[in-house]
Amino acid sequence: MMKAVIRGTGRWLPPRKISNHDLAQWMETSDEWIIQRTGIEERYWVAEEGGMGASDLGLEASRLALERSGWQADDLDLIIFATLSPDYFFPGSGCLLQAKLGLRDTPALDIRQQCTGFLYGLATADAYIRSGMAQRILLVGAEVHSTGLDVSTRGRDVSVIFGDGAAAVCLEAVETSDQVGVLAAGLHADGSMAESLMTEAPASCCNPRISREMLLQGKHYPYMDGRNIFKLAVKRLPEVALEVIEKARMEVENVDLFIPHQANLRINQAFAKAMGLGKERVFNNIQRYGNTTAASIPLALDEALEQELIGPGSTVMFLGLGSGLTWGAVLYRFI
With both helix axes pointing from N to C terminus, report the angle between 265-275 and 31-38 in degrees, rounded to the nearest 10. Answer: 30
- Note the residues at the interface with ligand UT7 (CB under 6 A): 29, 33, 37-38, 115, 156-157, 160-161, 226-227, 229-230, 233, 263-264, 267, 291, 322
261 is catalytic: yes
Q: Could you tell me the smallest distance in angstroms from the CB atom of residue 260 to ligand UT7?
A: 10
205 catalytic? Reply is no
- Closest distance to ligand UT7 from the beta carbon of 29 (Å): 3
**Segments of the chain assigned E as strands:** 2-12, 16-19, 42-45, 78-82, 108-111, 136-143, 165-175, 181-189, 197-199, 222-224, 257-260, 315-322, 326-333
Q: Among candidates 192, 221, 218, 219, which has minimal Cα distance to 205?
A: 219
Catalytic-labelled residue, pool 115, 170, 268, 285: 115
Q: Is 154 helix (H, G, I), strand (E, B) or coil?
A: helix
Q: Based on the residue annotation, tell me whether 188 is a catalytic residue of this protein.
A: no
**Contact status, residue 3 vs residue 180, Cβ threshold 8 Å:** yes
Closer residue to ligand UT7, CB minimum distance, 104 or 227:
227
- Nearer to ligand UT7 (CB atom), residue 144 or residue 160: 160
Nearer to ligand UT7, 69 or 264 (CB): 264
Q: List 8's β-bridge partners, or say none.
A: 170
Shortest separation between residue 317's beta carbon and ligand UT7, angstroms: 18
Nearest to ligand UT7 of 165, 322 (CB atom): 322
* 13 membership: H or E segment, kind and range: none
CB of 170 to ligand UT7, least distance (A): 25
Name the residue number minimizing CB distance to ligand UT7. Answer: 226
CA 127 to CA 220: how far, in whole Å? 35
Task: Name the residue nearer to ligand UT7 (CB basis): 85 or 264.
Answer: 264
Pairing of strands 326-333, 315-322: antiparallel
Sorted by sequence, the CB contacts under 8 Å of residue 183 that are 6+ apart come out as 248, 250, 315, 331, 332, 333
* Measured distance CA(289)–CA(37) in Å, rounded: 15
Q: Please write down the HEC assignment for all residues of 266-289.
A: HHHHHHHHHHCCCHHHECCCHHHH
| 69 or 85: CB nearest ligand UT7 | 85
Q: For residue 252, count other CB atoms closer than 10 A to its CB.
A: 16
| Catalytic pick among 261, 264, 268, 285 | 261
- Residue 335 CB, nearest distance to ligand UT7 (Å)? 30
Known catalytic residues are 115, 261, 291
